[in-house]
Chain A
Amino acid sequence: MATVVPLAEAVAELVRDGDSVAMEGFTHLIPYAAGHEIIRQGRRDLTLIRMTPDLVYDQLIGMGCARRLVFSWGGNPGVGSLHRFRDAVQNRWPAPLEIEEHSHAGIANAYVAGASGLPFAVLRGYRGTDLPSRTANIRPITCPFTGEELTAVPAINPDVAIVHAQRADRSGNVQLWGITGVQKEAVLAARRSLVTVEEIVEELEPRPGAVVLPGWAITRVSAAPGGSHPSYSAGYSVRDNAFYQAWDEISRDRETFLAWMGDHVLDRSATASEAGR
């Protein structure tokens, strides 16, 4: 059963140097508060996994937490590039970043394989592209029934999956809704998991279309109201589009980026007030 603990305690316990960490979320419910806590705790050499890395991974990469990124698209949604990500790949600042590039479906299906306890996922895509030449993690496989040559990718079983959701009850059962990405797949595939939530409630009311992650499949739950800012949590907050645009400028220059991270993430008193907005 998941236990409900403060965020700093959950991150200290679950995320270790060198871990593979999948912080999922799609359009909304992106676990910024947890990402910032990882940065504050100074984790290093992480393998970051996510289908669609955005600003929180840009921040983790720029702060030197990551050694490797497994992804299918990395950008500032609706704005452009991730400058810290690009600087790491192109100029190895602040540290070299290895990348393992997949298609969206490749990552999603690799999580499903991981959650299913299977060693690999099968796809029709990848063939004909240059991706298989770049990683040993994309390999041909022959269908035993039809003889068709397909592609296999190994299951992803992150050391830790971290997602943000709207609600949890005191037993650690989690409910999330709105546009869903592959949060469920990532949590079920992971060895350990942390879910940050907008609020802890006495009882979860059923909602059509909501995803429920049972407490027995989760390690820790932490309350982090506003913890998806600048993305949003449907029903709780709206997307801070101005911040995504501002990030383009903040992140373009190394010094400006470091100063911003110092003021807004590393300084805990500042973050406490930010969370309230």
Chain B
Amino acid sequence: MSTTGTGPDTGPMGAGAPGAAAGAGTGAAGTDATRAEVCVVACAEAWRGDGEILAAAMGTCSILGARLARLTFEPGLLTTDGGALLTAEPVPIGAPAGPVEGWMPFRDHLWLVQNGRRHVMMGASQIDRYGNTNISAVGDWARPKSQLLGVRGAPGNTICNPTSYWIPRHSTRVFVPRVDVVSGVGHDRAAELGGRASRFHGLRRVVTDLGVFDFGTPDGSMRLVSVHPGVEVEQVVAATGFDLVIDGDVPQTRWPTDGELRLIRERLDPKGLRDTEVRP
């Protein structure tokens, strides 16, 4: 399966004309959107074209993105209450599940991961140019400077599921030349494993507070797809600790539509948690 940028998820961003409201239904572009709201929509776009699979999300904007995608252009997605319940409708972040469509206790969740009908958007404490990620430890692994939370599902997710990343604070601390522990598999390592092992490996996109990235390059290294409104390409380059692939003029990430903004503000996140994750 080709996942390096020719898939359905690159279309809307590739269109990229400022304020084009690409593919997101009715309404004029909401150019008064906050950076967090732009991020929510950019995260939502990760699931475009995925159909009836579980949209597993970590982080506020990512969770909001999954639910927004389901409410707009990707109605077949399965979304959760943030725990083990599949909800009949996308619910506001932090709210109880309401009517429940199904149960996803841990065993079933893991079966789903291994089956692959799941597109996960995870966080990463470090990520390199090929999309290798680290959520395990910073520093020497035997005696880490900083013991992180642990690899959790990353080793299985990245080899069994389409995977995207949401990184709320883009900086050279996160975007590093080399991650200290590979807990999520990147393109160079997947290529080394060969076809059979890497056939389900698919890094779709990386969304940060500055822009959108994919791996649509011949060697699977990271490419700048778009910069968010108000962000300069130089800013992204300066906040990235490796050479990004930049093809010509970089488009701007699309603004949310008015309809999307209403859904985010009034339905999914009335308390404005998104703005605490990405400050306006």
Contacts and interface: CB of A to CB of B under 8 A. Distances in A.
B105 A179 contact: yes
A127 interface: yes
A130 B144 contact: no
Interface residues of A, number: 41
A105 interface: yes
Interface string B161-202: 000000000000000000001111110011011001110110
Interface in A111-151: 123-131, 134, 146-149
Contact of A27 (B83, B155, B201): B83
Contacts of A130: 136, 141, 181-183
A273 B196 CA distance: 58
A181 B149 contact: no
A124 B110 CA distance: 12
Given A108-B107, A131-B183, A125 B159 contact: yes
A214 B119 CA distance: 37
Nearest to B148: A81
B153 A124 contact: no
The A interface, classified by DSSP as helix, strand, loop or mixed, is loop
Contact of B196 (A85, A149, A179, A181): A149
A130 B154 CA distance: 12
Interface string B41-71: 0000000000000000000000000000000
B189 to A, nearest CB: 4
A128 B110 contact: no
B103 A209 contact: yes
A129 B149 contact: no
Interface string B112-145: 0110000000000000000000001100010111
A147 B198 CA distance: 14
A134 B144 CA distance: 13
Contacts, number: 130
B146 interface: yes
B147 interface: yes
A32 interface: no
A104 B152 contact: yes
Contacts of A209: 103
Contacts of A109: 110
B197 A148 contact: yes
A103 interface: yes
Q: In the complex, which of the residues B83, B105, B137, B157 has the most CB atoms of chain A within 10 Å of its own CB atom?
A: B105
B152 A179 contact: no
Given A104-B152, A128-B182, A86 B147 contact: yes
A219 interface: no
Contact of B105 (A124, A129, A180): A180
Q: In the complex, which of the residues A103, A123, A134 has the most CB atoms of chain B within 10 Å of its own CB atom?
A: A103
Contacts of A146: 196
B152 A73 contact: yes
Contacts of A125: 155-160
A127 B196 CA distance: 12
Contacts of A106: 155-156
Q: In the complex, which of the residues B110, B182, B196 has the most CB atoms of chain A within 10 Å of its own CB atom?
A: B110
A105 B156 contact: yes
Interface string B192-214: 11001110110000000000000
Contacts of B155: 103, 106, 125-129, 131
Contact of B150 (A27, A71, A105): A71
Interface string A144-176: 001111000000000000000000000000000
A128 B197 contact: yes
A101 B193 contact: no
B250 interface: no
Contact of A124 (B137, B156, B181): B156
Nearest to A182: B106
B151 to A, nearest CB: 6
A179 B83 contact: yes
B17 interface: no
Interface of A: 26-27, 51, 71-75, 81, 85-86, 89-90, 101-106, 108-109, 123-131, 134, 146-149, 179-182, 185, 209
- Going nearest first, the 3 A-B pairs with the smallest beta carbon separation are A125-B156, A128-B185, A128-B189
Given A128-B189, A129-B155, 4 more contacts: A27-B84, A75-B149, A104-B152, A125-B155
11 contacts: A26-B105, A27-B83, A85-B147, A89-B147, A105-B110, A124-B156, A125-B158, A126-B159, A127-B159, A128-B193, A130-B183
